[in-house]
Amino acid sequence: MIKLTSFLIPPGFRVGDLPSGEKSSIQDIEGITVGHIQLIKGEGKLKVGQGPVRTGITMINPSSENVFQNPLTCSAFIANGYGKTAGLAQIKELGVLETPIFLTSTMAVGRVWEGAARFVFQQNPHLAVEGQTINPLVGECNDGYLNDLYGGHIQSRHVMDVARELSSDLVKGGSEGAGTGMVAFGYKGGIGNSSRIIDYNGCRFTLGCLVLANFGERKSLRINGIPVGKDLPTWEKNKNDGSIMVILATDIPLDNRQLQRICQRAPLGLGLTGSVLGHGSGDFVLAFSTTNIRSRTGELIYMSKKVREKGEFLNKVFQGVVEAVAQAVYDALLQAETMTGRDNRRVEALPVEKIMEILQGG
């Protein structure tokens, strides 16, 4: 796994007016760690069960504490539900996140869920006596264009492998982890990161975003409102579908209703990049606060904080969400590298120089 000190955004790709955090990553939020594992094997014609393999897992651990014992306030929003994500129903019902977040390939969700449940159980062995269940959150996108989707290459044991890769250092995105086989706007996609700083009346907060980008048709790509895609070469798989997982994190003390409002602004950021949330697109948003932690002490009443419903402040937060989501999609495209997968299908990296010419009116 490659670790960085920073990743520079080329001129023209920088979104909006709010400043970024030091890492321009979800890891700008204190306590959040990220890890990837990548499975790459074989080349040539697809043979189900043998490869070629172009897939992986990304893990976001939202806290340095035992998350099951200290669940975080959370909410989720389904912009378009063409997907197989596990764990969202309980999050929407109870408003808490009690496990790390796992992102992977569509047909690996069950095996990653099993590994995630085992991972959390090892931290909380008392659950066997109490008979209490675990609600792992596993998100997915379909990497079948490059990967042996039905080959069963990701196993539950790989969850322990990715957990060992967790780091607070800035971790490379693009074609790492769950992003290994992903395609966005006809170019190599995958994991993208960004963050925004919210300063208001002497208070300073951070909003971070991580995406798994696997959506969009090339002709629809927009960079800061400029339709660059119409001047790019066409691509064989020219459909405005695919999927994206959007993970939002913040140190702002928000309750789950306020986090729901945060989630609902994420599609506006996707729209800036050219998404229309197509019929065959699975667009899922999860948002959590690292500040409002609910300890499982058994007490009937617990104390929590939340910001006041002050429009001027919340509008800056909403602006931060829109900017961060669009920036994270661009980050995924900028960091991803050209990859050849099953049946010798080749997906090129984003042609940054060509796009810069378009942005500059060339």
Q: For 144-163, write each residue's pLDDT tens digit.
A: 999 999 999 999 999 999 99
Mean pLDDT of 276-280: 90
Question: What digits encode the pLDDT tens for the residues 163-181?
Answer: 999 999 999 999 999 999 9
By CB atoms closer than 10 A (0-12, 13-18, 19+), residue 48 is exposed
Domain ranges of the chain: 3-359
Q: Residue 241: which pLDDT band, with cuts at 50, 70 and 90?
A: confident
Label residues 123-157 b or e (16+ Cβ within 10 Å = b): ebeeeeeeeeebbbbbbbbbbbbbbbbebebbebe
Q: Phi/psi at 223 (nearest 5 deg)?
A: -120, 110
- Is the model's pLDDT at 303 over the cut of 80? no
For residue 255, what pLDDT is reported? 93
Question: What digits encode the pLDDT tens for the residues 30-71?
Answer: 999 999 999 999 999 999 999 999 999 999 999 999 999 999
Q: DSSP for 305-343, please give it.
A: ------HHHHHHHHHHHHHHHHHHHHHHHHH---EE-BT
- Is the model's pLDDT at 263 over the cut of 70? yes
For residue 315, what pLDDT is reported? 96
Q: Would you identify the CATH topology of the domain 3-359?
A: L-amino peptidase D-ALA esterase/amidase (3.60.70)
Contacts of 92 (CB under 8 A, 6+ apart): 75, 76
Mean pLDDT of 304-320: 89
Contacts of 339 (CB under 8 A, 6+ apart): 54, 146, 175, 180, 181, 188, 346, 347
pTM of the model: 0.95
- Is the model's pLDDT at 109 over the cut of 80? yes
